[in-house]
Amino acid sequence: MLRLRCVSLGCMVVLCFGCASVELQPAATACGICDQSSEFSASCRLVTAPCLRSSASVLRERLDEAFQEGKPVVLYVHGRGGEPGKSAKQRILEALEAEYGVKVLMFNWDSKGLLLHRPVDKAVEASEHLRAVLADIARYRREVASKSGPPISLLAHSMGNIVLRNALTESGQQAADLTLFANVLLTSSDEDAEGHAGWINRLRPQGTTMIVINDNDGTLVQSHHPEGKTPLGLGPKAPFVSSAYYLDLTGQVGKAHRVFAKGRLHNRVEACKIVSAMLRGENLPASSRSPQNGQWNARRIVPNPKQDAEDDCFKGVFKGVSVPEREDSE
């Protein structure tokens, strides 16, 4: 006789001689506490600090918890690497929360690639799941959370931008509603610079969309795109985005890739204040709202390069695991 044993997303067929009946056992779950050895699980696409995995089906409960804390909320779409193990090892979520006073929900996708391989196919596959999460957050905002609730902002990093772009543009699918976000911050984007205006103009948050640029990004310079195309994080190509700003950190942060981490900002005070405002769902500092005239459609912001490690903005720099900048590769 056959016995069905249901695990995770499906059922295993088990040969069972002498069984009296077919038994359906409850699905097991891999969600729960994770650590630096944890690999991606398709049934656990939400991760909260320090490393707690949840099914997307309990998104509402995770949002309830975040809103009860009263802190600004950040939905973080990570880049390439073995997640969630990498975030656990390097304490990325803890650092974000400690440095910016926010509550982070990380959207986890199967982002592991061998050597310099870019898992673009996995990013595209993940987009439908991100689209569903975005729809659920929008529904939560409409039905549960009042307008006086904390702001929710979106942080898409590196290859996470590929997931986001496909969530916005995949044909035959209803477009994701990004108006629910206070701000959208796109750091070190590994999406193509060519044609970026088409999908970024669809974001339309309540506040600001910002694309962070570093021509010297040590990771993106090794990113091999088809037909020799350039990653957006190394510099945009016309046509430019009329509804976003380009924060140009070239020459200020060395080869840094994970530029949303305060420890990667090389004590640049204005850059720190801009990133802080974006992640906390706040308006940009007044000194930052006058873009430079020039090549990027007058939407380019070059922050004052002043350095001051004692500035209030850097008092919250995370003192946990320190990852050398040369290892800041995802």
pLDDT of residue 113: 85
Residues in the chain with pLDDT values less than 70:
1-30, 145-148, 170-176, 289-297, 320-330
pLDDT of residue 236: 95
pLDDT of residue 289: 58
Of 248, 260, 263, 262, nearest in space to 299 by CA: 248
3-state DSSP call for residue 222?
helix
pLDDT of residue 8: 34
Cis peptide before 72 (omega within 30 of 0): no
Cα(4)–Cα(10) distance, rounded to whole angstroms?
A: 10
Q: Where are the domains of the chain?
A: 1-30, 31-327
The topology (CATH level 3) of 31-327 is: Rossmann fold (3.40.50)
Summarize pLDDT for 65-89 with one digit per residue, the tens: 999 999 999 999 999 999 999 999 9
Give pTM, 2 decimals.
0.88
Backbone angles phi, psi at 286, to 5 degrees: -55, -35
Residue with tokens 């990380």: 106
Taken in order 256, 44, 53, 62, the sign of the CA dihedral is: positive
Going from the C-alpha of 162 to that of each of 46, 168, 241, the distances in angstroms are: 18, 10, 17
